[in-house]
Amino acid sequence: MLVKWIRCTVVDRRGFEREQRKWAALRGEPGFRSQSGGWSRGRPDVAHVFAFWENRVFHDSFMARGHDPLAAAQSGMFKDMQVKLFEYRFDVKTGFVPDFTDADVVRLAHSQVYEDRVDHFALMQQRVWNPAMAGSPGMLRGVFGEATGHEFLVLSMWQSSAERGKYRPESVARLSARAETENDVAALTGDVVQLEPSWTV
């Protein structure tokens, strides 16, 4: 499975939201699984979109055929777009499916990992972070993906903002020390995204 993450700074929020709903045209595209997104809770002008495809071949076929007419409608409504593709590695909680209908919030963590620490980083995700996240109230499911250049994305879906808040900073610090995250990660960025149900395809 291919995970696509799009991040951009929006300059016309109302127009962007209106046109984002038109991506419902993705339904029926060969290999398309789902798409959703929403607004950063830390920066209200930043939008995140997450899309799932069966594989890179189906995604690239859509990009060559049907992407540009849909994307053209949002031209000029945003700036600083970043698009990254990640290959699915494993579930964060068992039984991952790319379903956004029961989630309110998506938490994302994007890591640039030192080359010689990649295996350790992935192992610690499975042994330390995954059990902690899976046991957190309100955590529904998640996915761990890898891109070229030792980049990793952890996406986790949560039932509500309130439940997400129970995953506390002191717990994260303790888990981070146990996983030796500082030794593995060269750069780390994250965000909490309030999902917009009307963007879900």
Average pLDDT over residues 137-165: 89
Q: Smallest Cα–Cα separation from 146: which of 193, 84, 77, 198? A: 84
Q: Is the pLDDT of residue 167 over 70?
A: no
pLDDT tens, 118-131? 999 999 999 999 99
Fold of 2-199: Alpha-Beta Plaits (3.30.70)
Please state, in angstroms and as integers, the Cα–Cα distance from residue 195 to each residue in 17, 99, 121, 169, following that order.
Answer: 12, 12, 28, 22
**Rounded to 5°, angle at Cα 65 from 32 and 9:** 70
Residue 166: pLDDT band (50, 70, 90) is low
Residue whose structure tokens are 């929020």:
13
DSSP at 129: I
Residue 160: pLDDT band (50, 70, 90) is confident
Strands 185-195 and 151-158: unpaired
* Structure token pair of residue 21: 């709903």
Question: Where do the structural domains in the chain lie, given as residue ranges?
Answer: 2-199
Tell me the pTM: 0.93
